[in-house]
Amino acid sequence: MTSLATLTNRQFRLAARPVGVVKDSDWQQTEETLRELTEGEIIVQVLYLSLDPAMRGWMNEGKSYIRPVAIGEVMRAGGIGIVIASRSSKFVVGDTLSGLLGVQSYWIGAADDRMASFYKVDGKAMPLPKYLNALGMPGMTAYFGLLEVGMPKAGETVVVSGAAGAVGQTVGQVAKQKGCRVVGIAGGQEKCDFVVKELGFDACIDYKNGSVHEGLKTHCPNGVDVYFDNVGGEILDAVLTRINMKARIVICGAISQYNNTTPVKGPANYLSLLVNRARMEGIVVFDYADRYHKAVTEMAGWMRAGSFQSREDIVQGLENFPAALQMLFSGKNFGKLVLQVAQE
Ligand SMILES: NC(=O)c1ccc[n+]([C@@H]2O[C@H](COP(=O)([O-])OP(=O)(O)OC[C@H]3O[C@@H](n4cnc5c(N)ncnc54)[C@H](OP(=O)(O)O)[C@@H]3O)[C@@H](O)[C@H]2O)c1
């Protein structure tokens, strides 16, 4: 076995709280030699990291559903890795794990670390990046957010923004499985073509090249029953003008607002909720952790049957982390954004 002292752990730490768009100077790159394990500990070599819009929020100070990343701390990130050393009975060398690994090349600590929350995944059953997409956190968000908060019924119209992204692509496909009419909103013709032609959405509105309001009029002739909101801002406002009686709006995220240097802009058209006796409700994926296995089983079944897809956009190299993260905010990612840190 390789001596741990010969392995260098490269890390990205939070150097400063960003103001607006994250700058290179908000990161500090560090290198450490791996230490020896104590009883109950493991070392996980990071293979893939999940790059998520939420990471931008974790860099801010203030109360949220999870504590902020501290200045000087390794940046938090979910990922998949392989156990390369173990002094724990929980995991053995060679196990492939999913959990909060951080933006670094190796994770070291207690196998039962609560923050890391490791669980085993089977790379033979599915390609590993799928466990960061439809079979991971974004997929769970889409599945439970849509079904439990959106509560779509067959024949209803479901609209989803960020449609070609990690959460959006699963929302649309689950809604199709439930017999809904599905209209996506995405940036650019290529993404719109993908969700319609590859994923089976009924229509898609290209918000970068036309009016969302007009697109909704054309593609949602019977109004909107469920809106799954990933972006907030003006698109949320536009959808509010087209909702039906008793519509359900799932507040999943507001990526259009995450880099604001002014307070988040709320919807001007919120009185549409009153007129239509409609409701908006937030979703935090972790609330459904005890039922993830149900969603994974169902969606993996659809995947194996060929009636469900998940697309990943994989960027190579830990050193490209800062630039890759920015792709989420310019729409350069096409599918779930994953950073490959090491070869499998
Ligand atoms: N509540 C939860 O538990 C939970 C869990 C996971 C994710 N989320 C939220 O779900 C949303 C989607 O996350 P994801 O991981 O699936 O990301 P993603 O959709 O794969 O990537 C982000 C996409 O957002 C779009 N976007 C960026 N800036 C935008 C803007 N100003 N206006 C409109 N669209 C913009 C871009 O797509 P286009 O090219 O189409 O513009 C970009 O590709 C985020 O808001 C995230 O915070 C919430």
C-alpha span between 169 and 146 (Å, rounded): 12
In this predicted structure, what is the pLDDT of residue 1?
Answer: 54
The residue whose CA has the least distance to atom 9 of ligand 1 is 253
3-state secondary structure (DSSP) of residue 118: coil
Does 5 have pLDDT greater than 80? no
In this predicted structure, what is the pLDDT of residue 4?
Answer: 76
pLDDT digits (tens, 9 = 90+) for 260-318: 999 998 999 999 999 999 999 999 999 999 999 999 999 999 999 999 999 999 999 99
C-alpha span between 313 and 183 (Å, rounded): 22
pLDDT digits (tens, 9 = 90+) for 35-59: 999 999 999 999 999 999 999 999 9
Show the ligand 1 pocket: residues with CB < 6 angstroms. Answer: 52-54, 137-138, 141, 162, 164-168, 186-188, 191, 230-231, 252-256, 283-285, 328-329, 331, 333, 336-337
Query: CA dist 304 to 199, 207, 300, Å?
Result: 15, 33, 6
Q: What spacing in Å lies between the alpha carbon of 155 and ligand 1's midpoint?
A: 26
pLDDT digits (tens, 9 = 90+) for 8-33: 999 999 999 999 999 999 999 999 99
Q: What spacing in Å lies between the alpha carbon of 109 and ligand 1's midpoint?
A: 31
Q: What spacing in Å lies between the alpha carbon of 168 and ligand 1's midpoint?
A: 8
Residue 198 · residue 167 · CB < 8 Å? no
Mean pLDDT, residues 310-333 taken together: 98
Q: What does the DSSP assignment read for 251-279?
A: E---GGGTT-SSPPPPPTTTHHHHHTT-E
In this predicted structure, what is the pLDDT of residue 6?
Answer: 85
The residue whose CA has the least distance to atom 24 of ligand 1 is 162
In this predicted structure, what is the pLDDT of residue 3?
Answer: 75
**Beta strands 106-110 and 41-50: pairing type?**
antiparallel
Q: What spacing in Å lies between the alpha carbon of 253 and ligand 1's midpoint?
A: 7
**pLDDT exceeding 90 applies to what percent of the chain?**
96
Query: Which run of H or of E encompasses 327?
Result: helix 321-330
The residue whose CA has the least distance to atom 32 of ligand 1 is 256
Q: What spacing in Å lies between the alpha carbon of 294 and ligand 1's midpoint?
A: 24
The residue whose CA has the least distance to atom 27 of ligand 1 is 329
C-alpha span between 132 and 121 (Å, rounded): 11
Residues in the chain, overall count: 344
3-state secondary structure (DSSP) of residue 120: strand
C-alpha span between 284 and 337 (Å, rounded): 20
Contacts with 116 (C-beta within 8 Å, 6 or more apart), sequence order:
99, 100, 101, 107, 109
Q: Please give the sequence-ordered ranges of beta strands (E in DSSP) within the chain, or none if there are none.
A: 8-14, 27-33, 41-50, 78-86, 96-100, 106-110, 119-120, 157-161, 181-186, 203-206, 224-229, 243-251, 279-282, 312-316, 336-340
Contacts with 100 (C-beta within 8 Å, 6 or more apart), sequence order:
76, 77, 78, 79, 115, 116, 117
Query: CA dist 263 to 173, 199, 233, 258, Å?
Result: 33, 36, 12, 10
- Which domains does the chain possess? 4-133+311-340 (3.90.180.10), 137-286 (3.40.50.720)
Does 2 have pLDDT greater than 80? no
